[in-house]
Structure 1
Amino acid sequence: MKIEILGMGCAKCKDLYMAAEQAVQEVGIEAQINKVEDIKQIMQYGVMTTPALVIDGKVRAAGKVISKDEIKQML
């Protein structure tokens, strides 16, 4: 599983990254989590507001920090 956190490195982006890490650990799955800070890459997903969560190439949330429990449901 590939998880990407889209954002320019703001505090909310970091919070979403940490929530994703915790969710993956609690669910007990193998996942690669990457931060994507390049604006051109972010725009390829059609995301206009960050932070955004992408799971296996699909944008699952954008413009807000979702909780680790919400992320766990998506996994």
Structure 2
Amino acid sequence: MNIEIFSSPGCGKCGHAKVVLSELANEIGGDKINWREVNILEEIDYAVELGVMTTPSIAIDGELIFLITHKAPPYFDNYTIIIL
């Protein structure tokens, strides 16, 4: 599985998303996931080609997935709820 996270410098939500997704990727099995961080300022043409309109955005196997993240209630132990 190929996962790309699109971010921009200074984006606070991007940093949080990277941490959460990295933890999830490690739980799934790091050897099963190819991880790549994409700075949209450096790769704007690619980001536009996929349809990235905001950061953070995530593509899985070349398909853009739009996410809305919310801080989870305390009983979820610091996980973030991801609504697709």
Specify if TM > 0.5.
Answer: yes
**Equivalent in the alignment of 2:23:** 22
1:28 shift after superposition = 2.4
**Equivalent in the alignment of 1:39:** 44
Q: Using CA pairs below 8 Å that are at least 6 residues apart, which structure has the higher relative contact order?
A: 1
Give the structure-2-normalised TM-score.
0.66
Identity of aligned residues (%): 30
Q: Is 1:3 aligned to residue 3 of structure 2?
A: yes
Structure 2 CA distance for partners of 1:59 and 1:46, relative to 1, 3 Å: same
Q: Which has the higher strand share?
A: 2
Give the structure-1-normalised TM-score.
0.73
Structure 2 CA distance for partners of 1:15 and 1:55, relative to 1, 3 Å: same
1:4 shift after superposition = 0.3
Q: Which amino acid aligns with 1:50?
A: T
* Equivalences, count: 71
Give runs of ≥4 in structure 1 deviating > 2 Å.
64-71
Q: For 1:15-53, what per-residue CA distance to the aligned partner results, in whole angstroms no more than 9, with x for missing partners?
A: 111111111111225211111112222111111111101
Query: Runs of 5+ in structure 1 lacking a partner?
Result: none
Query: Runs of 5+ in structure 2 lacking a partner?
Result: 71-78
Q: State how far apart, in whole Å, the 1-side matches of 2:38 and 2:13 are.
A: 14
Judge conservation of contact 1:24–1:31 (CA < 8 Å) in 2. yes
